[in-house]
Amino acid sequence: MVTDDSLLTLTQGDLHVTGRLVDASNATLYATATHEDQAIVCIYKPIAGERPLWDFSDGCLAHREYAAYLVSSHLGFDLVPLTILRDGPYGFGMVQQWVDIDESIDLGKFFATDHPQLRSMALFDAIINNTDRKIGHLLPVDAQTLFGCDHGVTFHSEDKLRTVLWQWADEPLTAAEIALLQKAKAEIEGELGQLLAPLLTNLEIQQTSRRISDLLASGTFPLPNPDWPAVPWPAF
């Protein structure tokens, strides 16, 4: 999905807003980025349109969205659509390539299956401490390919995992998942950590590394935090 042309168009193209997603709590604009003869439909979330959150007082949601993309891309999850930070008609913000989903897939049933991409999403969310994995944030493109969106409330320093994907709770990690976590541990303490430094606080990056270590130590998917709601509301 990510190509040099698509990255160039999203980064340097003329960004034209054509609509707004009215159900979103923050300004979420439907737009098109056009560069030469290529056009990419995208979502544009200007920082100026964010509503302050009491428990995410540091940084901004746009930076967390981009940080989630960096983690997904660098660790090989490839679960977050191409995402960048750039200026736009309503100021600096996050721009993410639009994903057309397979409308024949019933999300109300799909989210509770043991689909391997959902399992990958559950592990990804455990790493980034996603506090808002709703059913509607799952974007199945076809029977094999899945993306996720809306990663603005992630990377909190406290354990706030809140998701609809609990079907693997306390289940042993596979050898491949352990290898991925070992890679994640090294990356977060190296190049990936350096890329995240302008986007997150030092404590948030340290706690991301700690969560990875905890997953490796337990060898299992996490259990819900008894002091925190396990499922977002509304779930969809």
Residue ranges per structural domain of the chain: 4-218
Average pLDDT (226-230) is 91
The pLDDT value recorded for residue 2 is: 72
The pLDDT value recorded for residue 24 is: 75
Tell me which amino acid residue 81 is: P
Which pTM value belongs to this model? 0.96
The pLDDT value recorded for residue 236 is: 93
The pLDDT value recorded for residue 22 is: 72
- Structural tokens at position 120: 């990958």
* Residues in CB range of 131: below 8 A, 6 or more apart: 153, 154, 156, 160, 161, 162, 232
CA distance 58 to 56: 6
